[in-house]
Amino acid sequence: MTTLKLHHFDQYLQQYLDERLRVWDHQLSGVQANRRDLNLFSRFCHQTGCHDINGDAILAFIAWLKYDRDNGAAAINRKISSVRSYIKYLRFRQVDGAEDLPVEYLSRARQPYTGPYQTLSAQEVKQLLSNIDCCSILGYRDYLLYSLLYRLGLRIGEALALDLEDIDMHKQTITIHGKGRRQRMLPLISDVMEMIQSWLLMRTKVFGAQEQSALFVSKKGNRLSARTAQENLQKIVAQSGPFSIKKITPHSLRHAFATHAIEGDADLIVLKAVMGHASIHSTQIYIHPSLDTLRKAVNDHIAADILSNLIEDGVVILRMQQKWKKAA
């Protein structure tokens, strides 16, 4: 049995990525993620002296991801998916040793159930957004950006990918470019329209913005990057806290939108369409009740009245006193 050589793994990598992008028409973001994953696997093999790639090498990589890099199941599965797809490609190219790696039998890492999804409460969202400086141009830009994530349930990448032409004020709609090149059209609610119109006026004051098609621009007139949007949110979080959840990211606002919609009895199929999920299973994670909902269910249960009445009537205390006397 031959083994896949590490130098062959490295040799065909760029060709594979180019073909995914130009021939198979995969999205650039997905190809870039593949590149990071495969380069990480290659570096691991080089650093551990593993020049023959076999099942043991891949299992060692998975263990390293979990215990050394502290990756969760989702991150591990994505990286293994990248390795699996590339090795299948090497098989098709009839690269020596690739046919002896049965990667399709590799199990997926299991994601443990962590309980109800922890998200920002409605009051916390208000607390966060109200601490944004809307008096400055860039502050108002951030206010609109984070408001869209919560008001329309957008992903940060979807919001930052918005162009001016995606907004139709006449039809009162906004076109969202989602994952997998899936587009969805959402209605522009009156308050969102007003915020966008105000931002479009302010946007003209940003240097170089007139030459840019992006709705959200940086102070230099370029399309606002995800990294800058994340860093700006962290500054606002630091000024607005404390919050009930430890880590708040732009995606936390999308999660809050979905959770609050479910708690407001939103239809699951409609919510799936609004959020741009490919599968209803992605939307169903929000069916799990939040901690506040669980707390309300426990507090509102008749058991609370029964137990409190027993204590107030002295029944529990009386019986405990009688038991203590007998024991003495």
How does 179-210 read in b/e, with b if 16+ C-beta sit within 10 Å? Answer: eeeeeeebebeeebeebbeebeebbeebeebe
Residue 144 contacts residue 196 (beta carbons within 8 Å):
yes
- Is 155 noted as a catalytic residue in this protein? yes
- Is 179 noted as a catalytic residue in this protein? yes
Annotated catalytic residue, options 79, 155, 203, 255: 155
DSSP character string of 87-110: HHHHHHTT-TTGGG--GGGPPPPP
Joined together, the tokens standing for residue 205 give: 């004051």
Distance CA 324, CA 328 (A): 6
- Is 182 noted as a catalytic residue in this protein? no
**Half-sphere exposure for 217 (CA within 13 Å, toward CB):** 23
Annotated catalytic residue, options 179, 184, 219, 288: 179
- Is 8 noted as a catalytic residue in this protein? no
Distance CA 41, CA 6 (A): 10
Annotated catalytic residue, options 203, 254, 255, 272: 254
- Is 177 noted as a catalytic residue in this protein? no
Distance CA 274, CA 268 (A): 10
List of residues 6+ apart from 107 with CB closer than 8 A: none
Annotated catalytic residue, options 140, 146, 150, 286: 286
If you count DSSP H runs as helices and E runs as strands, how many of each does the chain have, helices first? Answer: 16, 5
Annotated catalytic residue, options 78, 84, 251, 288: 251
250: helix, strand or coil: helix
Q: Any idea which residues carry the catalytic annotation?
A: 155, 179, 251, 254, 277, 286
